Structure 1
Amino acid sequence: MTTTVSREHTVEQKRVLATAIPGPRSAALQQRKTAAVSSGVSTGLPVYIERAAGGILVDVDGNQLIDFGSGIAVTTVGNAAPRVVERVTAQVADFTHTCFMVTPYEEYLEVAEALNELTPGDHEKRSALFNSGAEAVENAVKVARYFTGRQAVVALDHGYHGRTNLTMALTAKNMPYKQGFGPFANEIYRAPMSYPFRWPGGPADCAKESFDVFVSQVQTQVGAGNVAAVVMEPIQGEGGFIVPAPGFMKQVSEWCTDNGILLIADEVQTGFCRTGDWFASEHEGVVPDLITTAKGMAGGLPLAGVTGRAEMMDAVHGGGLGGTYGGNPVACASALGAIETMKEEDLCGRARQVEAIFLPRLRALAERFPQIGDIRGRGAMLAIELVNGPGDLTPNAALTAAVNKACHAEGLVTLTCGTYGNVFRFLPPLAAGDALLNEGLDIFEAAFAAAAG
């Protein structure tokens, strides 16, 4: 079955404020949410979306909001991307589920082949598909433990890896992710992250010292011979878009190889063109043993993967990996449409263009406001960290929240993050045009100026 969809955006790419944000219909729906949905599921901006395309979200009140969040790095190719719509529409009409472990289908194979081709390294690879980033990380740990025969897993300070029991143990931040949900999986250990902005001696000392501190702590507290895997985000996501000092990830990778430890690169947020490369590990010159993917891979549908060296992925006994919905055919079709879009429209190059638009304006803002302590990131995954001011690196979560609220009121969807709640992260869809990005930055700058005084 073939469905033809216009290549034009189905939503005009402009901001429209038809009502206050949120509007009356969204407010009514939020009352229903309070009555029907667990209060444990919170909402950052309670506007209810009915349509979206490119870099615009349209809510039920007719407001058109500029999207600087991409559903937390998911809609990298933009909402309703034509190739995604075409493939998903055709797949839904054909069949929606059989379970790959019962009666398989070609779409799963095509996604696995794409992952094997696109992920770093020219070695022979295998992939397995799952539903979420947390599932991918959990299954990567399973593979590492099975292959090495070891149990210990090392994660890094400020890291975020998911909300299952095991991935909560790997995640560093307590509130809101871990508070009250323990006990957690055991044999999980934490080592210092290379965090140049907050390293005691500053960025230069971080580059010189952070790897040695990492190794010393792991050797002392765990013992390299007991470690199955190190799980690391090449650029930390929820933890604050922390970019490690140059060479840190490469050194960790080489140390892992020397000690029979698997390096698991968690590229759930950094993968699929987001940082200007297909995967952020490439920028660091690192070829992970295992790599986890999700978010931007499938154009908004739930799909995740673990890709790794063939001998490692094939070591697990038959039936040891899988799941009822893992590699759902509709999600696979969406991923194939998204990957085709990334290739045909050179979205790696587009991410670098986004960086070229954002960085000069963020740097100019930092010159005006000393509360911007650090600007970091890569491609279309950028952030600023807010502090009290010069010489005082105390995290300024209050200013972060105030600017975020002001942006929302003006129809700009922004996201915060960071261990201390003081980081703005910018994750615009790569389908958003330059004019829309600049308008969003205008709104952000005005909101920042008003809140910072």
Structure 2
Amino acid sequence: MTAVEQTRHLATAIPGPRSSALISRKNDAVARGVGTTMPVYAARAGGGIVEDVDGNRLIDLGSGIAVTTIGNASPKVVEAVAAQAADFTHTCFMVTPYEGYVAVAEQLNRLTPGSAEKRSALFNSGSEAVENAVKIARAYTRKQAVVSFDHAYHGRTNLTMALTAKSMPYKHGFGPFAPEIYRAPLSYPFRDAEFGKELATDGEVAAKRAINVIDKQVGADNLAAVIIEPIQGEGGFIVPAPGFLRALLDWCRDNNVVFIADEVQTGFARTGAMFACEHEGIEPDLIVTAKGIADGLPLSAVTGRADIMDAPHVSGLGGTYGGNPVACAAALATIETIEADGLVERARQIETLMMSRLNQMQADDDRIGDVRGRGAMIAVELVKPGTTEPDAELTKALCAAAHAHGVIVLSCGTYGNVLRFLPPLAIGDDLLNEALDILATALADLPA
């Protein structure tokens, strides 16, 4: 395969004629509920570039929503996938098992935070892994209730929709949802500042607020698990105040409640650590991973303390495709690439570059209310000038302008006013700076 040229290039307007034709075909063939962000159809991708069917080369600040963390079509992954596919594509691990599954579990047990003996189980999607983490926690504690948090996103299946906070587009019209799901307030420093500096900056104070709600609405005697994203993804790249996660974990340990870290979006070097929990020095009981685990192939996992992971009865966990051998080969090559190429450090370099540029943009434009994130998981929250009122329309317009100029960006947040950046760690500084130049110009051109 010829490497994709690492320059932005617009051969046509966005979308071009071939993409436009595919949009028409999609409308006739694909269910309306499956939406798309960009009005282009991909032909090739690599490094920091996605090339569409019309020959346009777009700067990738999305990584397929934090999936192609090491860069699309990464060479070691391509080689490993081809070799495994030539041997066999499937036998079902529950029928005739294979070494790749075991090897991925060994790597996850080694890499995830925590020094205790660990076990792993492999699945297909983040949602599926979250559901299995809940099953495992219920089996271990013999309790039923689960607490998630404001602004949370945990998936699109019935149970994970119940755990997810945002109604539109994820939950609206799809109920009733799974029972025994409760919600507690998150530490959201930018918004908590409206209620006082202490709440916004002291994670232990924010945790007391959450624990008070949990005690009153659920009670520890009924609670199997607390599940939280160490840095929220779809909810707006919210980084809790220091001490929030630690205080929650301590409370869980004191009350026989399983602490589940959903690292589907934050895992595998994305935040400048192999896992985001490491930034707070915490060791979750269970950790859920997916997205960046296999560079685009469908794979997910639950990893955790052996005594908890071994609570379900034999054959209580599994699935026909879980831990598919081709996906396992991709995961092993992905982990090898992260470690060999120093991509954890690369994520920190990306953070330094992006935060510097975005903080300067914030100083020049009061519509940027907040700049936050870690590693190559950075966001800006857009507001009405001089206020903290969310500006979803400005966010939508800025995304559209970026897309038209060949920059792939995504929005998120409960209020639809957060622009999120998830560049592949293989992207060059020149492409990052060019993309940020385009965004700065586009924002300046949009009316206040």
- TM class by shorter-chain length? over 0.9
Where does 1:125-274 land on structure 2 (aligned, <5 Å)?
125-199=118-192, 200-208=194-202, 209-274=205-270
Q: CA deviation at 1:389?
A: 2.0
What SS does the corresponding residue of 1:395 show, helix, strand or coil?
coil
Query: Offset of 1:95 from its aligned partner?
Result: 0.4
Identity %: 64
Out of 420, 424, 427, the position equivalent to 2:422 is 427
Moved more, 195-204 or 273-282: 195-204
CA distance in 1, matches of 2:447, 2:138: 49
* Paired letter, 1:301: L
8 Å contact kept, 1:203–1:245? no
Query: SS at 1:185's partner residue?
Result: coil
Contact 1:150 1:228 survives alignment (8 Å): yes
Mapped partners of 2:430, 2:380: distance in 1: 22
Q: Secondary structure at the match of 2:186?
A: coil
CA distance in 2, matches of 1:237, 1:312: 26
- State how many pairs are aligned: 445
Contact 1:152 1:187 in 2 (8 A): yes
Question: Displacement, 1:214?
Answer: 0.5
Match of 1:411 in 2: 406
1:41 corresponds to which residue? 34
Separation of aligned partners in 2, 1:168 and 1:88: 32
Q: Which residue of 1 aligns with 2:311?
A: 315
CA drift at 1:434: 0.9
Kept after mapping to 2: 8 A contact 1:207/1:247: no
Matches of 1:15 and 1:83, distance apart in 2: 25
Q: What residue is the counterpart of 2:434 in the other structure?
A: 439
Give 1:225 deviation, angstroms: 1.3
Query: For residue 324 of structure 1, what is the amino acid of its counterpart?
Result: T
Output the amino acid matched with 1:51: R
How far off its partner does 1:32 sit?
A: 0.2
How far did 1:202 drift? 4.2
Give the Cα–Cα distance (whole angstroms) in 2 for the partners of residues 274 and 265 of structure 1.
15
- 1:44 Cα shift? 1.0
Matches of 1:162 and 1:224, distance apart in 2: 25
Where has structure 1 moved over 6 Å in runs of 4 or more? none
Please state if 1:336 is matched with 2:332.
Answer: yes
| Distance in 2 of aligned mates of 1:305 and 1:115 | 8
1:92 and 2:85 are equivalent in the alignment: yes
- For the pair 1:79 / 2:75, whether they are aligned, the reply is no
Q: 1:276 to 1:225 in 2, by over 3 A?
A: same
**Structure 1: distance between partners of 2:296 and 2:409:** 18
Match of 1:15 among 8, 18, 25: 8
Match of 2:43 in 1: 50
Is the 1:207–1:248 Cα contact (8 Å) retained in structure 2? no
User: Structure 1 residue 40: deviation in Å?
Assistant: 0.2
Question: Tell me, what secondary structure is at the counterpart of 2:446?
Answer: helix
Structure-2 change in CA distance of 1:27 and 1:290 (3 Å): same
Q: Secondary structure at the match of 1:42?
A: coil
Give the Å deviation of 1:452. Answer: 4.2
CA contact (8 A) 1:136 1:306 kept: yes
1:448 shift after superposition: 1.1
Give the TM-score normalised by the residue count of structure 2.
0.98
CA contact (8 A) 1:197 1:203 kept: no
List alignment gaps of at least 5 residues for structure 2: none
CA offsets per residue over residues 78-114 of structure 1, 9 Å max, x none?
0010010110010111100000000000000110000
1: CA distance, partners of 2:254 / 2:149: 19
Q: 1: distance between equivalents of 2:311 and 2:142?
A: 11
| Secondary structure, aligned partner of 2:383 | strand
Cα 1:32–1:250 change in 2 (3 A) is same
The alpha carbon displacement at 1:201 in A equals 2.1
1:417-449 per-position Cα deviation (integer Å, ceiling 9, x unaligned): 000000000000000011111111111111111
- Pick one of 400, 410, 413 that aligns with 2:395: 400
Mapped to 1, the partners of 2:222 and 2:331 lie a distance apart of 37
- Give the 3-state SS of the residue equivalent to 1:394 in structure 2: coil
Question: TM-score, normalised to structure 1's length?
Answer: 0.97
Q: 1:203 to 1:281 in 2, by over 3 A?
A: farther
Which structure 1 residue ranges, 5 or more long, are not aligned?
none
How far apart are residue 347 of structure 1 and its match? Answer: 0.6
For residue 230 of structure 2, what is the amino acid of its counterpart? P
1:283 aligns to 2:276 (yes or no): no
What corresponds to 1:32 in structure 2? 25
Q: Structure 1 pair 202/348, CA: closer, same or farther in 2 (3 Å)? A: farther
Q: Aligned letter for 1:304? A: S
Q: Does 1:297 align with 2:290?
A: no
Aligned-partner SS, 2:28: helix
Which of the residues 107, 111, 134 maps onto 2:104? 111
Query: What amino acid is aligned across from residue 228 of structure 2 in structure 1?
Result: M
